[in-house]
């Protein structure tokens, strides 16, 4: 992925985004120098895992505020000051590129976000669910041939649907209430995965006047 354009606007400011404090507490999404996305439950987890300043060109909190890594006086990594809201078009393209390169790592395919707030919220939700980091997020719902069942994690959903040849009749609801149709991607000899399920969101129907 070409990450040359700055992931934050020079002037700051993005509709619907509220800048967070310097060194914000809470969880983060990182866009790595490889173009891949990752999720961290805390600043401490983030700093313990990353190894050098340029490894994370863009770090985002839930307010869509962006950060970069810096070195402290002892040359240890630290989270730098807030740089303003992440640039919407840059982030949307970075995510599209990551999905194209490694679709097996981005299996929850949400409908296109209409703005920065929705894009960032969806990014946090899908990365948490895909990584299986938070069991307390809630249960997954499945409708299979008219029968309803519940599962704890996405991995449990995968196991239940493994080998199912009638996925057209299956509907899956994530803990945040988003509805999906599962799609099987068979193993390809030129791609390094053994086949996987993705989940394509079925957008909610908008009533007239919305």
Task: State residue 18's pLDDT score.
Answer: 37
**140, 98: one domain:** no
Kind and range of the H or E element at 154?
helix 154-161
Contact 109, 134 (CB under 8 A): no
Residues 44 and 85 in one domain: yes
- Residue 14 in any domain: the answer is yes
182 plus 97 within the same structural domain: no
Instruction: Give the domain range for residue 184.
Output: 134-201
Q: Which residue stretches of the chain have pLDDT < 70?
A: 1-6, 8-25, 133-135, 188-194, 206-210
- Specify whether 1 is located in the same domain as 99: yes
- Give the containing element (helix H, strand E) for 46: helix 43-49
Q: Same domain for 98 and 7?
A: yes
Domains contained in the chain, number: 2
Residue 20 resides in a domain: yes
CA–CA distance from 45 to each of 10, 31, 42, 121, 167 (Å)?
29, 15, 5, 20, 37
Kindly state whether residue 87 falls inside one of the protein's structural domains.
Answer: yes
CA–CA separation, 79 vs 59, rounded Å? 9
- Which of 57, 84, 104 is the last residue before a domain boundary? 104
**Same domain as 75, residue 150:** no
Q: pTM of the entire structure? A: 0.83
pLDDT of residue 195: 84
Q: State whether 25 and 77 are in the same domain.
A: yes
What pLDDT, on the 0 to 100 scale, is given for residue 204?
79
Q: How far is CA 195 from CA 97, 104, 199, in A?
A: 20, 8, 14
Domain-located, residue 120: no
Distance between CA atoms of residues 69 and 27, nearest Å? 15
Report if residue 164 sits inside a domain: yes
Closest CA relative to residue 107, chosen from 89, 132, 138: 132
């Amino acid at each position: 992925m070409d990450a040359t354009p700055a992931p934050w606007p020079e002037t700051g400011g993005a509709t619907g985004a509220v800048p967070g404090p310097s060194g914000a507490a809470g969880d983060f999404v990182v866009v790595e120098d490889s173009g891949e996305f990752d999720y961290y439950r805390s600043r401490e987890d983030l700093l313990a895992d990353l190894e050098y300043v340029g490894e994370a060109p863009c770090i985002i909190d839930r307010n869509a505020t962006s950060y970069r890594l810096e070195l402290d006086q002892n040359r240890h990594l630290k989270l730098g000051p807030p740089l303003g809201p992440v640039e919407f078009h840059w982030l949307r393209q970075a995510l599209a590129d990551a999905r194209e390169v490694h679709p097996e790592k981005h299996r929850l395919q949400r409908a296109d976000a209409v703005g920065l707030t929705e894009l960032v919220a969806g990014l946090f939700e899908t990365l948490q669910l895909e990584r299986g980091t938070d069991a307390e997020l809630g249960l997954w719902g499945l409708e299979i041939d008219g029968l309803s069942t519940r599962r704890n994690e996405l991995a449990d959903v995968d196991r239940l649907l493994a080998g199912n040849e009638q996925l057209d009749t299956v509907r899956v609801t994530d803990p945040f209430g988003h509805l999906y149709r599962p799609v099987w991607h068979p193993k390809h000899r030129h791609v390094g995965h053994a086949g996987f399920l993705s989940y394509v969101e079925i957008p909610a129907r908008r009533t007239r006047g919305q």
